[in-house]
Every structure is written in C-alpha cells, then in structure tokens.
C-alpha cells in the first residue's frame, strides 16, 4: 500500500464512522468535491498536507489523529 492508498482508506474509514458521504465531507471541510473524488478514486497520487488538514478540520480531528493508525505506521518507505 502506498501513501495515496492509505490516505484514501483513512478518509473512507472516517466517513463511515461519521456516516458522511463524500459530497457532505467536501461541504463541511471546504475541500472541493472534485478534489475529494480524485483522492478517493486514485486520480490524486499525492494529496497535499493542506488538503488533508482541511479534511481533518471537517472531521473535527487533528492531523495527528488522522495519521495515527496502523495503516500509516505499517507503510513501507517509498523510494523514488
């Protein structure tokens, strides 16, 4: 799993926990729906920290809480 896939998975988990669809997430976070969609459907290979921070604000969690999961702890380092 790469970082973009881990971000997608985490967004989906948080939406499920909060009973949010992606359109509602876009509205409450201020992130354009097209951006949310591009992350979820794998078109965005490198979502920015600024975008993730806005999504975290919409979820009402800290950026630390977003990344503090086994999914991110177990990521292999990407070497390019």
- Domains delineated in the chain: 3-69 (1.10.260.40)
**Helix boundaries (H) for 1-80:** 3-18, 22-29, 33-40, 49-59, 63-67, 70-73
How much is the average pLDDT of 45-57?
A: 96
Give the tokens for residue 25.
Answer: 């997430």
Tens-digit pLDDT profile for residues 10-48: 999 999 999 999 999 999 999 999 999 999 999 998 999
Residue 52 pLDDT class (50, 70, 90 cuts): very high
How far apart are alpha carbons 71 and 80 in whole angstroms? 21
d(Cα 21, Cα 71) in Å, to the nearest integer? 22
């Amino acid at each position: 799993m790469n970082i973009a896939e881990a971000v997608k998975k985490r967004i989906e988990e948080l939406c499920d926990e909060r009973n949010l669809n992606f359109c509602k997430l876009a509205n409450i976070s201020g992130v354009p729906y097209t951006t949310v969609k591009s992350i979820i459907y794998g078109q965005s290979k490198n979502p920015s920290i600024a975008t993730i921070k806005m999504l975290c604000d919409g979820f009402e969690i800290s950026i630390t809480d977003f990344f503090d999961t086994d999914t991110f702890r177990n990521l292999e380092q990407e070497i390019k």
